[in-house]
Amino acid sequence: MKIRTWPFTIRSPKKCFSLGILCWSLLAIPLAAQMGGMGMGRRGMGGGNYASTAQQGADYGMSSMMRSQGYQNLQNSEAAGNYQTAQSQQIDNRKKWTDTYFDMRKSNRKARADEAPSRISHEDAIRLAKSVAPPRLSSTQLDPTTGHIQYPLVLQDSIFTPYRSELDSLFAGRASSGSGLQIQDFQAIRTTLTKFKEVLKEHVQDYPSSEYGKARVFLNSLSNEANFPSG
């Protein structure tokens, strides 16, 4: 006698019954327990649930396998969803970080631009140069005709004699030419005045502060006069 039970064909009823018990034992325990709790199945001497037929045992095993497969599919689906969510959050975080970085750079550039001094026009630069330039010497301080220089009292000290003599000669030549200095004379005046100021600074403690200040302003003005023609 052949008995067909899914997915096997069994020739002996005894073997069929044994196979059903085996399937039930290996695959249908969780499902049989659940169904037994609802009054399904038969209770044996050990108090456990078991299939009454080979077909029922196979069905139990199949149901358990399908339940396990469904649970695995659910887990895989949840894992895939979690991965996509994490990837999306990572992309969002990178975008936020990039936006924040460029916003900070933009704010930094704006702050530096606001703190930077404003550029001035050419006319403003000329006015500023005139406002900080030392005052020009009067005709009694620098004679435009002869080039004679009337030095302040401090600068008449003997330690400054070499520098006064050099400047007197240069400005006398400037006055006699009736025009501006040649480049070499202009550079000579600037060089002599620089040395003059250095020596004066070395003796700053030898003079009253007010007289020292007047002497420095005079030398600055004398240097400025070299930029203009005589007369």
Contacts of 170 (CB under 8 A, 6+ apart): 181, 185, 188, 189, 192
**Pair 71, 141 in one domain:** no
Domain that holds residue 162: 134-225
Taking CA atoms, 60 is separated from 7, 10, 44, 72, in Å, by 13, 18, 17, 18
Is there a domain that residue 193 lies in?
Answer: yes
For residues 98 and 92, give the distance between their C-alpha atoms in angstroms, rounded to a whole number.
10
**Pair 59, 138 in one domain:** no
Q: How much of the chain, in percent, has pLDDT values that exceed 90? A: 31
Final residue of a structural domain among 47, 80, 113: 80
Q: What is the pLDDT of residue 32?
A: 47
- In tens, the pLDDT along 48-80 reads 455 567 777 676 677 777 777 777 777 777 777
Give the range among 114-118, 136-140, 143-147, 206-210 with minimum mean pLDDT: 114-118
Q: What is the pLDDT of residue 149?
A: 96
Is there a domain that residue 100 lies in?
Answer: no
Is there a domain that residue 55 lies in?
Answer: yes
pLDDT (mean) for 185-203: 94
Q: Mind giving me the DSSP string for 70-130?
A: HHHHHHHHHHHHHHHHHHHHHHHHHHHHHHHHHHHHHHHHHHHHHHSPPP--HHHHHHHHH
**Pair 138, 221 in one domain:** yes
Is there a domain that residue 86 lies in?
Answer: no
pLDDT grade for 181, boundaries at 50, 70 and 90: low
> Taking CA 68 as the corner, what is the angle to CA 66 and CA 70, rounded to the nearest 5 degrees?
65
Q: How many domains does the chain have?
A: 2
Is the pLDDT higher at 166 or at 1?
A: 166
Q: What is the pLDDT of residue 28?
A: 47
For 21, phi then psi, to 5°, come to -60, -40
Taking CA atoms, 214 is separated from 147, 191, 202, 217, in Å, by 20, 20, 16, 5
**Pair 142, 215 in one domain:** yes
Final residue of a structural domain among 80, 103, 124: 80
| pLDDT at 134 exceeding the cut of 80 | yes
227, two tokens? 């930029």
pLDDT (mean) for 213-224: 94
**Pair 76, 142 in one domain:** no
Is there a domain that residue 129 lies in?
Answer: no
Residue reference for tokens 């006698």: 1
Is there a domain that residue 106 lies in?
Answer: no
Is there a domain that residue 104 lies in?
Answer: no
Would you say the pTM of this structure is higher than 0.75?
no
**Pair 219, 138 in one domain:** yes
Is there a domain that residue 93 lies in?
Answer: no
